[in-house]
Structure 1
Amino acid sequence: MTDARPPGDDEATFIAAVRSDDTATFALLTERHRRELQVHCYRMLANYEDAQDMTQETFLRAWNKRESFKGHATLRTWLYRIATNACLDFLDKRNDRTPVPAELLNLQPYPDRMLPEDPQDSVVARETIELAFIVAVQHLPPRQRAVLILRDVLGWPASKAADALELTVASVTSALQRARVTMREQLPGRRLDWRSPATHELSDDERGVVKSYIDAHERNDLDGLMALLRDDLRFAMLPDPGTLIVTARDAVDGWVSGGLFQRGHDDWRCVATTVNRMPAAAMYLRAPGDAEYRLFAIAVLHIVDGKIAELTGFDAAGKPWLGLPPVIGQVPNVTEVTGE
């Protein structure tokens, strides 16, 4: 490791645990970093379930390589290095089967309840976990992706990132420059300085739009729903391919023709929530003759000046990691977006 330093308490304890094959202490010290490592893997892979798998792979590799840890870098740095390379290996295999644009079909939302608990940690800065940022990162080649995340999100110096990726400092610097250009192309009109501290809180404006969106759905008020959408709406319903820029009217007409609203008489109940530190609505649909409302989808909203500028829908059924009840029996008493 290039950031040589005397071992701290955790590092010294870890080394002692390795020497004595103390699996309990090994697990205790590494488990502290699970949530932030999982977020790191999610940024690399854009898929919550894959991020879970690669975090577990990180711990397995750490155990298998435990004797290589000498305490010259922090335990956290060592684990991030292993996680980054586990993700790169995963991407190398996945890209043999999947074209890069099709990778976005793997995009999944990230439940806020699984984010690290420290609200000041740059690991969970809102700009670096929102869907637009995650999608933009996926347009980078894997090693540029790793460089951008290590340097600009985690704030690692070039020498530390180079050591983790077994690259030269010059190669890391060049990759970062190219990655920043691509990110600015993929995030037009967005706040691009994702390295600055940012608020995690939803605004009153965002909460109000979510409430109106839910009200319109539950009343089957298609005009009210359309009034919430910007005319240059960006819409995607994954895993269907592509993000469409459509008018509000085209979006609503498409939902009706696609069966999402059956002649305006579908029976919806919605629950306000957050994923990726973004406002969202969990959508529950009651089929004719069914006594319960069943989880159907989650709509993630990017709101600008009181209007929905981007709406990304995800199939939510059968995904317990979202932390949403699979069925609800009555209208929930939701007065504000949860998770705040």
Structure 2
Amino acid sequence: MERDTTDLIARARTGDHNAFRDLVQGHSHELQVHCYRILGSLQDAEDALQETLVSAWRSLGDFGQQSSLRTWLYKIATNRCLSMLRADSRRPRIAPPLPEATLPEPTGTGDAPPWLEPYPDVLLDHLVDRRPGPEARYETTEAISLAFVTALQLLPPRQRAALVLRDVLGYHAVEVAHMLDATQESVQSALKRARATVDNQLADSSSTSTSSSGTGNRRPARQPDTAAEHRLVARLTDAMERADLDALIELLVSDVRLSMPPAMLEYRGIETAQRFFAASTFRPGRTYRVVPTRANGQPAVGLYLADPHAGVHRAYALLVISTAGDRITAITGFTAHVMTRFGLPRTLPETD
């Protein structure tokens, strides 16, 4: 239940910036996550949040309090995201070529779009106490996973927004229609198509570890086994730092998926994965250090490649890991530019 903000709203309307800051600060983190789900990029989500707050400040006089402040802010944020998607000028339209000329032939085109970025778990800490509404179909943990955010990017923008507002945040269909300036019938139609696409995509991405009920009802959120994940990450770290390809392959399920946004390529299957790692990650002369972290509610590691000329290990890639039990079902690799957002340094000393 929202606190009484009547006095803060009145003060903010008179131009009190401190009152406005106090008014919106409790919503900023969840609004950023909302923008991230729709846009798939943390950088874009940060920009959308700032534009949302500027718009809210300028239009606060129009807030008639027919809805809650939170709902009003979500409406502004959603429409800001839709405007950004319509402009679409910042997003890469063509994936850049892979830097490695010796990689094996991929098995297909990946689902992850070129603009996809991981979301640091440290930024999710503020969402722990925020439960989705009664209309939600997805639990918070599932709705921030890399597979779910990737699936959302396959939807047209308004379908994407409708599904997030209704099935993630739990707003009623009539509220969603108001927030999107649409009819309830058009929202229901958009939701039907969006749910089919997302459920099919999630069923495919989790086919190695779970079965889809096909009912369209809320699926239970996957609760990570922290101890098991810690053991798995420790084994992965050991394999990477010892350049032990066989030990790494032992951690993978038979139809493991490898993808590397912004390159829209996918390597699927353990034999293909073995060829990929042999040709790229474990090329002769390469040594690594690994730093564990978390992204999108999943285990992740920062990978540092040794620079023998400088006596340091340089940031090389962030790997986000999808797991089932004691095995890895998918690895999504991101370029080193995302690592600083996780508090990871650009270089590590050669030895501790």
RMSD: 2.6
Aligned to 1:251: 273
Moved more, 312-321 or 97-106: 97-106
The aligned counterpart of 1:183 is 198
**CA 1:267–1:198: 2 relative to 1, 3 Å:** same
Aligned pairs for 1:94-243 within 5 A:
94=88, 104-122=113-131, 125-188=140-203, 190=206, 195=218, 198=221, 201-243=224-266
Separation (CA, whole Å) in 2 of partners of 1:144 and 1:135: 14
Find the residue that maps to 1:244 and give its secondary structure: strand
Q: Distance in 2 between matches of 1:82 and 1:94?
A: 18
- The CA distance in 2 between the partners of 1:197 and 1:305, in whole Å, is 16
2:302 partner SS: strand
Please give the secondary structure, in 1, of the residue aligned with 2:332.
strand
- Rounded Cα–Cα distance in structure 2 between residues aligned with 1:121 and 1:138: 24
Q: Name whichever of 80-89 and 279-288 sits farther off.
A: 279-288
For 2:217 and 2:310, the matched residues in 1 are separated by 46
- Report if the CA contact (8 A) 1:112-1:275 is conserved: yes
Which AA in structure 2 matches 1:284?
A: Y
Q: Counterpart in 1 of 2:63?
A: 69
CA contact (8 A) 2:290 2:304 kept: yes
State the TM-score, normalizing by the size of structure 1.
0.87
Q: In 2, Cα distance between the equivalents of 1:116 and 1:59?
A: 21
Matches of 1:230 and 1:196, distance apart in 2: 23
| Deviation (angstroms), 1:168 | 0.9
Amino acid aligned to 1:67? G
Task: Note if contact 1:35-1:116 (Cα within 8 Å) is conserved in structure 2.
Answer: no
- Could you give the per-residue CA deviations for residues 63-122 of structure 1, whole angstroms, max 9, x where no partner exists? 121111122211111111000000000001118987699981100000011124242424
Q: Which amino acid aligns with 1:294?
A: R
User: What secondary structure does 2:278 align onto?
Assistant: helix
Q: C-alpha separation between the residues in 2 aligned to 1:102 and 1:127?
A: 18
Residue-pair matches, total: 323
Distance 1:108 1:183 in 2: 19
For residue 199 of structure 1, report the CA deviation from its aligned partner.
5.9
Q: Does 1:44 align with 2:38?
A: yes
| 3-state secondary structure, aligned to 2:272 | helix
What stretches of structure 1 move > 3 A for 4+ residues in a row? 95-103, 189-203
Structure 1 residue 13, shift from structure 2 partner: 2.4
Specify the alignment match of 1:314 in structure 2: 334
Query: 1:153·1:195 contact (CA, 8 Å) conserved in 2?
Result: no
User: Cα distance, 1:166 vs. partner?
Assistant: 0.4
Whole-angstrom CA distance in 2 between matches of 1:97 and 1:323: 24
Residue 98 of structure 2 is matched in structure 1 by none
Q: Alignment partner of 1:52: what SS?
A: helix
1:307 partner letter: R
- Counterpart contact for 1:235–1:243, Cα < 8 Å: yes
Structure 2, unaligned runs of 5 or more = 95-109, 133-138
Secondary structure, counterpart of 1:295 in structure 2: strand
Q: Check 1:196–1:268 CA distance in 2 against 1; reply closer, same or farther (3 A cut).
A: same
* Residues 1:327 and 2:330 are matched in the alignment: no
Separation of aligned partners in 2, 1:212 and 1:180: 37
Q: CA deviation at 1:129?
A: 0.5
Partner of 1:82: 76
